[in-house]
Amino acid sequence: MRDSGFQEHGIKYLKELVMAIYDHQNGNPVVHYSEHDDQGTWKEAFFSDRDGRNLLRDVIPLTRNGDQYQFIHKPFLEYGLSLAVFGPSKRNEDTEAMSLMSRRGNPISSLSFESSSSTERTSIGDDKYLLDSPLGKRNLVGERSVLQFLTERVQQEAVFKDQLHSVIERSKTDEMAQVAAANAITILVRAGVRFNGADLRNIKVPGADLSFGMFDSAQLEGADLRKVNLRNVWMRQAKLRGAQMKGVQFGELPFLQEDSEVWCSAYSPDGETYVAGLSDGNISLYETSRWNRTQRLEGHSDRVNSLSFLVTGDRITSGSDDSTVRVWDVDTGECIHTLQGHSNGISSVAYSPKGDRIASGSRDSTVRLWNVDTGECVHTLLGHSEDVNSVVYSPKGDQIASGSNDSTVRVWGVDIGECVHTLQGHSGEVFSVVYSPKGDRIASGSGDKTVRLWDVDTGECVHTLQGHSDTVRSVVYSPKGDRIASGSWDNTVRVWDVDTGECVHTLQGHSNYVNSVVYSPKGDQIASGSEDFTVRLWDVGTDECFHTLQGHSENVRSAVYSPKVDRIASGSEDFTVRVWDVETGECVHILQGHNGWVDSVMYSPKGDQIASKSWDMTVRVWDVDTGECVHTLQGHSNWIFSVVYSPKGDQIASGSDDGTVKLWNVETGQCLATISGFGGGVNSIALESSFDALYLVTGSADKSVRHWRITKKGIEHKAVLCWSSLHEVLAVNGLSFEDVQGLSLPNRELLIQRGAFDPKSSVL
């Protein structure tokens, strides 16, 4: 295969095939080819048997099943596309060609991007070929694997980096270069290239992803930045005069400043009006197109706890701690009705779907149903034993769900006024209940820090959503019903996948309790109201940054990749370990059990276990597949500073502020040996093995580095000091003291413990 340029032909064939697949099939890796039906089509050029093409197909990672051809792994297809943009230098091309052809069926992760200089590379100034490559023909921003390959090229090939800069420069005067320029600047930002102070005037990079990029003091006057992702970008003192920025995404929206705490909020059905209920008894109305306040409704004498729009959008109902329900005209701001009858504050109000009834829940433990036209109470629903915090109508209007401080959710038949289900399972107050858009599920948020999803027909709990570290005050379904947003007194909003029960986003930014969350009617925004006097508006569609894994409720103290690099484990001050999928950014396991900060996590060499150490003075060993704790290693009397696996993964060593190192058996969880004698805490340890022994290195607060040899006799393990960086520590490893005179028994024992050798002693 090395003869007659066969390798080069193979690489060329791969690149051209991949480009054709992206051009004609939008990247679909499966190609159906019929010799009879596909004559004269693009497929014939690649899948006919003429000119030895069958040989070329045999050496690239394609499989065949009848008339169907498919790449063995999709990353091979993406790698081929990256080659079509910028391949390896000539000297590496031979290596990569043979490497590619010899690895059919193996993961693409082993493909090399080694750097080498080459005088045969296209000159730096010649960027024209990039415009004719996929870089200039296809938006690659969504092709994560392709971007990763090209990012590595930038980091290894200075020529490619310079050519990408040239493409961006060309876009200033060449309209045809804007697709290539958007891809180029996206790749450079991902590669960590900084544009601080750069002259980027008039560049055209619509649709680029500049998230987390560094553009301080950059000159961006006249730049085309339409639909550019500017999430978490650094642009301090940058100049944007005349820049086109329609559709740019910053990943967040401005907050609305109020004069008092925000306790509730709601969108109008058409999404054009937003209302916020305040602790001072007032209600603020906002026009959502510009987010300016249009009205202030005054009338309640105490905190407004709940708001609901009539389906037509021209009426608002509010419930207050002044024990009244008020009905307001949206256009005039006048109070039309004041509904009185409750003997305590109103926690929740809701319009029926038809708009002819209002339901109110009160701290007097009752739910009342009111006639909208007359203002009369038509039903009083009795059954809760404590405050009613939330009421909601089902989509059909035939049921009402109510949540109470008695830890239950009750489902009521509207016509009969009786309770048809009592949903039990929460261990704290139920503050919020909501029906799914289809009406087949109820979500409830509780003081037990969880959200529960209930089946309306059976009354069974189908999911318990855990992750908040404090009371869940508000829950809401997205308009499509595939997501739930929850607001908590841990100052965060969480977004959950309804089917899996997993937390897909944690929205952080509030500095105080979040009391209210609501989706916009289109489902593209979430508004959250907080006791920090703000309403924050979250862009749902742009909160998917795979570089930021959110879910912990406190600081993350440690993070580590799995050996296969498909998972990340993180330890947090919220006492948990989370396991994340690297590709999707989703949390696949929450490992709970520690009673203190988790400040270090590590994978076993095989990747089948995670070890975590905590301020609770324990090490926990977790099964990666099940998320279960298989061992809790207890014995240290103070904080543990360092934990490490042995190279074989069968032992764990832990160093502690109690001045000891403990060696543990991973399979049984038993302590095999305890090393003491340090002049302070043991801050750092490392394990290494050889053919005859296990070696341990310790770093201690007594300013010493010590090297130990772990020996084993039967089931007994013993640590022998080989040497120490401190002169005060005896270093006698290997010393033979046969026939010495005057050595006391204690000193003899000391020498043996430090690794000296006495042939007459039975102690090893």
CA gap 596, 400 in Å, rounded: 42
pLDDT the model gives residue 397: 87
Number of C-beta neighbours around residue 735 at 10 A? 14
Strand order across the 304-309 sheet: 304-309, 315-320, 324-329, 335-340
580 HSE (CA, 13 A, CB side): 25
Closest to 463 in 3D by CA, of 454, 475, 472: 454
Answer yes or no: is pLDDT of 285 > 50. Answer: yes
Pairing assessment for the beta strands 640-645 and 556-561 based on DSSP bridges:
unpaired
State percent of the chain over pLDDT 90: 38
Of the ranges 71-75, 428-432, 692-696, 708-712, which is most confident? 428-432
- pLDDT-derived band of residue 249, with 50, 70 and 90 as boundaries? confident
pLDDT tens digits, one per residue of 471-520 = 999 899 999 999 999 999 999 999 999 999 999 888 887 888 888 787 87
pLDDT the model gives residue 2: 45
Mean pLDDT of 246-272: 83
CA gap 695, 497 in Å, rounded: 47
Phi, psi dihedrals of residue 643, rounded to the nearest 5°: -140, 140
Mean pLDDT of 110-138: 53
Mean pLDDT check: name the lowest of 106-110, 160-164, 180-184, 689-693: 106-110
* CB-neighbour burial class of residue 142 (10 A; exposed 0-12, middle 13-18, buried 19+): exposed
Mean pLDDT check: name the lowest of 3-12, 135-144, 164-173: 3-12
pLDDT tens digits, one per residue of 18-65 = 677 766 766 676 778 777 777 778 777 777 777 666 666 666 666 777
Of the ranges 110-124, 318-332, 389-403, 688-702, which is most confident? 318-332
**CATH architecture label of 313-542:** 7 Propeller (2.130)
Mean pLDDT of 715-729: 68
List of residues 6+ apart from 709 with CB closer than 8 A: 693, 694, 695, 696, 719, 720, 721, 722, 733, 755
Number of C-beta neighbours around residue 333 at 10 A? 16
pLDDT tens digits, one per residue of 69-103 = 776 656 666 666 667 677 654 334 444 444 444 44
CA gap 641, 659 in Å, rounded: 10
Mean pLDDT of the chain: 81
Mean pLDDT check: name the lowest of 268-277, 412-421, 448-457, 609-618: 412-421
CA gap 278, 321 in Å, rounded: 11
pLDDT the model gives residue 87: 63
Regarding the domain delimited by 556-727, which CATH topology (the fold level of the hierarchy) does it fall under? Methylamine Dehydrogenase; Chain H (2.130.10)
Cβ–Cβ < 8 Å for 243, 263: no
Phi, psi dihedrals of residue 534, rounded to the nearest 5°: -125, 155
Of the ranges 323-337, 506-520, 544-558, 737-751, which is most confident? 323-337
pLDDT the model gives residue 547: 36
pLDDT tens digits, one per residue of 725-761 = 654 454 555 555 666 656 666 566 666 655 666 655 5
**Residue bearing the bigger pLDDT, 741 or 284:** 284
The DSSP call for residue 736 is: B
pTM exceeds 0.75, yes or no? no
List of residues 6+ apart from 524 with CB closer than 8 A: 539, 540, 541
CATH 2.130.10.10 in the chain is located at: 313-542, 556-727
Phi, psi dihedrals of residue 608, rounded to the nearest 5°: -90, -5
The DSSP call for residue 72 is: S
Mean pLDDT of 639-650: 88
Q: Which helix (H) or strand (E) holds 44?
A: helix 44-47
CA gap 542, 548 in Å, rounded: 12
Answer yes or no: is pLDDT of 228 > 80. Answer: yes
Answer yes or no: is pLDDT of 151 > 60. Answer: yes
- pLDDT-derived band of residue 8, with 50, 70 and 90 as boundaries? low
CA gap 56, 34 in Å, rounded: 18
